[in-house]
Structure 1
């Protein structure tokens, strides 16, 4: 069941990527990021308020919020720091690179997760799952060759380094999620609520230095409804992802790979919406990724 929850997370992540690309195009990155996280927080906060007013109803419908210790708050704050760094780098890269390049590089996240899952959690997939996992990684590498045809040289473009850094931090957060969900027994909505709140506070500190004091930058920001959509879609994706992690049998390295099937939406639909190049050639590694996901899903 955790694998199919991972696919649901991938669906919402794909839609999230499309909305995020539109939200940052020609826009100020930091306020867009703050807006997306804030909209996601207010979405979760609605359920938090309901749980306070009608606790029995919240428990019956599966969105009760846990009371957590100060130490657990500290662990969640660490996750907020990691993801704030990842998002800042990713949003800057997304503003300057095609979505059909950014999303595939982000899809290399399972490689970093793979290393951590083996070393930290001693995960051991079966033969078909190994094949599927490495097929996804090899397919992602093909995108770098296609990216050069769009004038994007991976060794000299600083935004490529930004998206690689964002990917590494995102993978680290994924490994950390397993600790938060399984070792600390946090339920998804509790983790999402406090994680978003702390991330907002971190971003406010950053914006107080980099954006708020500068009238020209404030004037350059354009509000778009896609900003709200990004936040809500991300919370939906995170909810299914965290629900999948609650399964003791869930393998974080495979779940991370399954989530990357979001690339189907980002490359096919995104390529059409944003009129990007080499869409047909990008379908070749895309098929490889989908075969890899299939092998993981049906190898039990």
Structure 2
């Protein structure tokens, strides 16, 4: 069952990536990011209020948000800090790079998760899983060669370095999620609510220093319908992902790989919508990534 939940998460993540590209393209990154996270927070806020004033009803619905100790709040704040940094880097890169380049690089995330799963959680890969991960990484390298034809030199482009750093931090957060969900026994909705709450606070502090004081940046921001859509789709995807992680048999390295199937939506549909270059050539490494994911699932 946890694999199907992972696939559901991937579908919503793919739609989330398309809306995110629309929201950030030619726009100010920080208010877009704050708007998306705030929208997700407002989506979950009624569940928190319901848990405070009608706890039995929310328990029956399965969306009760629990009271947690101060120490657990600290653990969630760490996740918020990791993901806030990752998103700032990723949104900046997405603003300056084609979605058909950014999304496949993000697809290397399972490799970092894979290494962490081996050394931290002692998850043991099979030979087919090893082959699958080699295929994924090899396909991302092939994307780098295609990217050069679009004027993007991977070794000298700071936005490429930003998206790689964002991918590493995102993978670290994925490993951390297993600890939060399984070791601390947090429910998905409890983790999502407090994670959004602390992330909004972190972004407000950052923006108070580097964005709000600059009038020209405030004027450059454009509100778009896709901004709240990103927040809603992300929270929906995260809910299914955290539900999958609740299963004691769930393997974080396989879940991370399953989520990469979102790139079908981002590369194929996104390439058509945003009219990006070399779409046919990008289907070759896309096939390699999908084959790698298939081998992991098949194994």
TM-score of the two chains, using structure 1 as the length reference:
0.97
Q: Deviations 1:151-174 (Å, cap 9, x if unpaired)?
A: 100001010111111111111111
Tell me how far apart the structure 1 counterparts of residues 70 and 143 of structure 2 sit (CA, whole Å).
44
Stretches of structure 1 that go unaligned for 5 or more consecutive residues are: none
Preserved CA contact (<8 Å) 1:133 1:254:
no
Alpha-carbon contact 1:11-1:262 (below 8 Å) kept: yes
Offset from partner CA, 1:158-197 (integer Å, 9 cap, x none): 1011111111111111111111011100011000000000
Q: Name the counterpart of 1:65.
A: 65
Alpha-carbon shift at residue 141 of structure 1 (Å): 2.3
Answer yes or no: is 1:140 the counterpart of 2:171.
no
Residue 247 of structure 2: SS of its match in structure 1?
coil
Cα separation, 1, equivalents of 2:132 and 2:2: 17
CA contact (8 A) 1:27 1:222 kept: yes
The ranges of structure 1 where at least 4 consecutive aligned residues each deviate by more than 6 angstroms after the TM superposition are none
Say which SS state the counterpart of residue 223 (structure 1) adopts: coil
- How far residue 62 of structure 1 moved from its aligned partner, in angstroms, is 1.3
Residue 40 of structure 1 corresponds to: 40
1:282-297 equivalences in 2 (<5 Å):
282-297=282-297
2: distance between equivalents of 1:239 and 1:132? 26
Select between 140-149 and 224-233 the one with higher mean Cα deviation.
140-149
Q: Which moves more between the two structures, 265-274 or 213-222?
A: 213-222
Q: Distance in 1 between matches of 2:8 and 2:134?
A: 22
**What's the counterpart of residue 31 of structure 1?**
31
Query: Which structure 2 segments of 5+ residues have no match?
Result: none
Q: 2 CA distance for matches of 1:126 and 1:157?
A: 36
Would the aligned equivalents of 1:136 and 1:257 in 2 still touch at CA under 8 Å? no
1:136 CA displacement: 2.4
Whether contact under 8 Å (2:80, 2:196) holds in the other structure is yes
Which residue of the partner structure matches residue 152 of structure 2?
152
Number of residues of Structure 1 aligned to a counterpart in Structure 2: 299
Query: By how many angstroms is 1:61 displaced?
Result: 1.9
CA distance in 1, matches of 2:109, 2:74: 25
